[in-house]
Amino acid sequence: MSEEFDRRNLMNTGVVAGGLLLLGGLESARAAEGDAPLAGEWFNSGKLDQPCAIFQHGRILLLVNEKGDIGSGRLSAANEFTILKGWSEGLVGRIIERGKVIAWKGGGFWRRA
């Protein structure tokens, strides 16, 4: 009886460990794609008359600022991205306030409506 109980415990432990590994893999994949989806309409300084937009495919971004200038970027960390080409090369955006605001290093921000 004791041997059967030990086998059952070992099997349950293996199932739980496998499940945790699977969940960890899913979280890694989700983090690689960016937890906060950036795609959609944004507003420069929160002003409704200054719309901006972000189009996202995985970690790759296409950004359109309030003047209509286009830039391409890439998620560089879980809550951060960098503009690689376009209107402000090297500019870093940090996603804050639970994905509702992008704070630009050097000043300024975009906000969702």
| pLDDT for 78 | 86
Q: What is the mean pLDDT of the chain?
A: 80
Distance of alpha carbon 5 from the chain centroid: 45
Say whether 20 sits in a helix, a strand or coil: helix
Q: Which residues of 69-102 are buried (b: 16+ CB within 10 A; e: fewer)?
A: eebebebeeeebbbbeebebeebbbebeeeeebb
| pLDDT for 37 | 84
Q: Measure the CA–CA gap between 70 and 53, rounded to whole angstroms.
A: 10
Helix (H) or strand (E) holding 29: helix 2-33
Entry pTM: 0.68
Model confidence band, residue 113 (pLDDT cutoffs 50, 70, 90): confident
Task: List, for residues 6-61, the tens digit of each pLDDT value.
Answer: 555 545 444 434 443 343 443 434 444 445 589 999 999 999 999 999 999 999 99
| pLDDT for 84 | 97
